[in-house]
Amino acid sequence: MRKAKWDLFDAVNYTLITIICAVMLYPFLNVASVSFSSYSAYVNNPMMIWPHEFNIDSYREIMKRALLWKSYLNTIIVTISGVGTGILLYILTAYPLSKRIVKGRRTLMVLVVFTMLFNGGLIPNFYLMRSLGLLDTLAALALPALLSGFSLILMKNFFESLPEELEEAARIDGASDPFILFRIVVPLSKPIIATLCLFAAVGYWNNFFNGIVYIRSENKWPLMLYLREVIQSASTMAEQANAAEMGAQNVTSETLKYATLIIVMIPILCVYPFLQKYFVKGIMLGSVKG
C-alpha cells in the first residue's frame, strides 16, 4: 500500500514537471520555428512548434545589418570586461571579509546588505555618470552593475566554508597571503566563481535599462537596445527590404523579429551548458553560512 502511494506521488510529480517543462519550452520552440518559416506558413499557423516551408531568408536579411554586429560587439566587450573585473573585485573583497581577524567586517557586511535594500536612485546615478564623463560610453553600461551585494555575500560564505587548515598549512610552509589566495583558495572556488560569472554574464547580456538611460549614439547601443528597435520598427524594416532578393513573402516583420531574438539568445544558450554543473553546487555551498 505504501509503495502504491509513492508511485502515485511520483506520477503526479513527473506529470507536473513535464507540464512545466512544456510551458517553458513552447515559447522558445515557437520563436525558433517562426524564424525558419515563410510568412504564409506563419499566417496559417502562428502557434507552430516546428518550421513550415523552411527557409533562412530572415537570417540572411539580418546578417546584412551592420548595426546588429556593432551592438553584438558592444555587448560582448561590456560583458567580458564587466564579468572579469567584477569577479576579481569579488575575490579581493570577499576574502578578507571571510576572516574573523578582520575588524569591522560585520559593520561592512551590514553596509553591503543595506545597499541591497536601498540605493541612490536613478537621478543621482545619472548625475554621477555625467560628472564622471561616462555618458554615452561603454563604461556606463559596465560600471553600474559591476558589483552585487548578493553575489558578494555568496562568495564570502563560500570562502568561510573552506577548511582553515589548508591556509594554516600553507603559512607554515612560508606561503604569503596573495599566494594562498590565488594558488589555493581561488582554484578551490571554481563552483562559486562559475556561478557568479553566469549571473553577471546573463545580467550584462540582458541589460536594457542602462542603455536607455546612458547611451545616445547608435554605434554604442547594447544588443538589447538594438532588439527593442527591431521589435518597435519591424514593420518599417520589412517594408524597406528588397522583396526581389528576399523571395517575396518569405521575410516580414514577424520573421525578422523572431530571427533576431534567436540570434540574441545563442551566446547564452552556448555558455550555460558548460557552467551548469557548477551552478547548483556553487549556490548551495555559498549559502551554507550567513
Residue 58 has a pLDDT of: 85
pLDDT of residue 200 exceeding 90: yes
Residue 72 has a pLDDT of: 93
Range of 78-87, 97-106, 228-237, 254-263 with top mean pLDDT: 78-87
Tell the burial category of 60 from Cβ atoms under 10 Å away from its Cβ (0-12, 13-18, 19+). Answer: middle
Q: How far apart are CA 33 and CA 263, in angstroms?
A: 13
Residue 281 has a pLDDT of: 64
Q: How far apart are CA 107 and CA 169, in angstroms?
A: 30
pLDDT of residue 239 exceeding 70: no
Please, which pLDDT band fits residue 7 given cuts at 50, 70 and 90? confident
Mean pLDDT of the chain: 85
Tens of pLDDT, residues 52-66 = 888 888 888 888 889
pLDDT of residue 249 exceeding 80: no
Q: CA 42, 45, 50, 52 torsion: positive or negative? A: negative
Nearest to 107 by CA among 94, 96, 97, 118: 97
Taking residues 93-121, what's their average pLDDT?
89
pTM for this one?
0.82
Tens of pLDDT, residues 251-289 = 567 788 889 889 998 888 888 777 777 666 656 655 554
pLDDT of residue 245 exceeding 70: no
Residue 244 has a pLDDT of: 42
Measure CA 162 to chain center: 27
Residue 290 has a pLDDT of: 46
